[in-house]
DNA sequence: TATCGTTATGTTTTTAAAAGTATAACGGTA
DNA sequence: TACCGTTATACTTTTAAAAACATAACGATA
């Protein structure tokens, strides 16, 4: 049982001078793309429109030096979405930081005195 | 010169089971209330509508065990907004955590390798 | 080469958030 | 007690974000 009724919560993200390029939501989208191999399925799972997901991937790809997701259309299955090696790296890096961030918040929550 | 083009940014806030009770924006509003003694002036400075500021103060006051701002109407000047002792405490506590959070982000930014 | 399910992209509609408008209530002070 | 500028609150309008809709393009396979 904590000594306080308050909890600390927050969000972190990676950005460039042009703006946000990766955060909580995008990482989840990328992970679902990796699992399903499909942008449409990933979007469905997250209950977002295909268009929004596609825009997110576009902006994310443009935010890094190389694409994190490789989209292709036509062929067997109609098309596919594949996470690049860079995509895997970036996700891993973000999740590492995210884990530390959660620890940070937990710690501060225990110290809080109001 | 940093080793990477990416920077880390983020937000933290204090919440109860009922939701967010204090974050970056609200703290700024409270500080401006303290400086000006007026909710209307504080809202003007932050370019938000008086209504929005009033709602924020209302929800903030309800989120804690005691009000952080004491509003009163009528009298000299038409009315006033005063930060309570609790208000001062809470602001100080939040800013302390916020400072550590900024340090955390700086550190992670230096470690980032993508 | 016809089919299929997906990616690609512009356009329209819906929804939600914010801003704006209006007006009452208040209590020192002149 | 009339005035003033602010707080208090409901209601309307505007704006921005999200969703929905529509349709073309694509390429492996049968």
* Structure tokens, A55: 């825009």
Place of tokens 């590492």: A96
Inter-helix orientation angle A50-63/A24-36, to 10°: 110
For chain A, the helix, strand and coil percentages under 3-state DSSP, each to the nearest 5: 55, 20, 20
| CATH number of A46's domain | 1.10.10.10
Q: How far is the CA of A50 from the C1' of D21 (A)?
A: 12
User: What's the 3-state SS for chain B?
Assistant: CCCCCCEEEEEEEEEECCEEEECHHHHHHHHHHHHHCCHHHHHHHCCCCHHHHHHHHHHHHHHCCCCCEEEEECCCCCEEEEECHHHHHHHHHHHHHHHHHHHHHHHHHHHCCC
Contacts of B107 (CB under 8 A, 6+ apart): none
User: Residue A10: its pLDDT value, please?
Assistant: 97
User: Residue B86: its pLDDT value, please?
Assistant: 98
User: Residue A69: its pLDDT value, please?
Assistant: 98
Q: Is residue B3 part of a domain?
A: no
How far is residue A52's CA from residue A43's CA, in Å, rounded to a whole number? 8
Q: Is residue B26 part of a domain?
A: yes
Task: Identify the burial level of A87 via C-beta atoms within 10 angstroms of its C-beta, where 0-12 means exposed, 13-18 middle and 19 or more buried.
Answer: buried
Alpha-carbon torsion (A22, A24, A28, A29), positive or negative: negative
Q: Is residue A6 part of a domain?
A: no
Q: Structural domain tally of chain A?
A: 1
Residue from A90, A97, A109 to probe the interface with B (highest B Cβ count within 10 Å): A97
Q: Is residue B1 part of a domain?
A: no
User: Residue A5: its pLDDT value, please?
Assistant: 87
Task: For B58-87, write each residue's pLDDT tens digit.
Answer: 999 999 999 999 999 999 999 999 999 999
* Structure tokens, B107: 């550190």
A9 alpha-carbon distance from chain centroid: 17
Q: Could you list the residue range(s) of the whole structural domain that residue B78 is in?
A: 20-111
Q: Is residue B8 part of a domain?
A: no
Is the minimum CB–CB distance between A84 and chain B shorter than 8 Å? no
Nearest CA-CA partner of B101 in A114, A25, A51, A10: A10
Task: For B98-109, write each residue's pLDDT tens digit.
Answer: 999 999 999 999
What is the pLDDT of chain B when averaged over all its residues? 95
Mean pLDDT, residues A53-69: 97
Q: Is residue A1 part of a domain?
A: no
User: Residue A1: its pLDDT value, please?
Assistant: 53
SS3 A14: strand
Q: Is residue A93 part of a domain?
A: yes
16-75 in B: which are within 8 Å (CB) of A? Answer: 16, 20-21, 64-65
Q: How far is the CA of B35 from the C1' of D6 (A)?
A: 16
Q: Is residue A77 part of a domain?
A: yes
Nearest CA-CA partner of A53 in A76, A66, A64, A69: A69
């Amino acid at each position: 049982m904590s000594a306080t009724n308050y909890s600390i919560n927050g969000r972190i993200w990676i950005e460039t001078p042009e703006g946000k390029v990766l955060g909580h939501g995008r990482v989840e989208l990328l992970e679902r793309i990796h699992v399903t191999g499909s942008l449409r399925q990933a979007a469905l799972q997250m209950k977002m429109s295909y268009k929004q997901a596609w825009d997110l991937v576009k902006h994310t790809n443009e935010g890094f030096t190389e694409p994190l997701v490789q989209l292709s259309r036509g062929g067997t299955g109609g098309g596919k979405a594949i996470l690049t090696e860079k995509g895997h790296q970036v996700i891993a890096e973000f999740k590492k930081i995210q884990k530390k961030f959660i620890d940070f918040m937990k710690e501060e929550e225990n110290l809080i005195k109001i």
